[in-house]
Amino acid sequence: MKKRPSDKGSRGIRREVDPLLSVRELCAVLGVPPATIYQLTHRGRIPHFKIANRLRFRQSEILVWIEARRIPPRR
C-alpha cells in the first residue's frame, strides 16, 4: 500500500484525514439547494474554507454544526 505524506503526523504516526465536502456533496447531505449553501457561507453561518476559489466544508465540522442546531423533542 502506498503511503501519502498527508497521512502521517510529524512523528510518523498515521492519522485519519477528515474529508472536505464540495457544495454539491453538502447539498446532498443537507437536502438543500446550492443557493442555500452560498447564502449560509456569505453570512458566515456555516464553517467553510475557500480553496482555489472553491468552497469546501470539513465533514467533522459540518456534523458538529448540524448537532448544534438540534431542537430537543417536546414532552
Residue 59, pLDDT > 80, answer yes
Say whether pLDDT at 13 is over 80. Answer: no
Question: Residue 45, by phi and psi: left (phi above 0), alpha (psi -120 to 50) or beta?
Answer: alpha
Domain definitions of the chain by residue range: 18-68
Is the model more confident about 48 or about 2? 48
Burial class (CB in 10 A: 0-12, 13-18, 19+), 15: exposed
Distance CA 33, CA 63 (A): 18
Q: What is the pTM of this model?
A: 0.75
Report, at the CATH architecture level, how domain 18-68 is classified: Orthogonal Bundle (1.10)
pLDDT digits (tens, 9 = 90+) for 20-45: 999 999 999 999 999 999 999 999 99
Assign 17 a pLDDT band (cuts: 50, 70, 90): confident
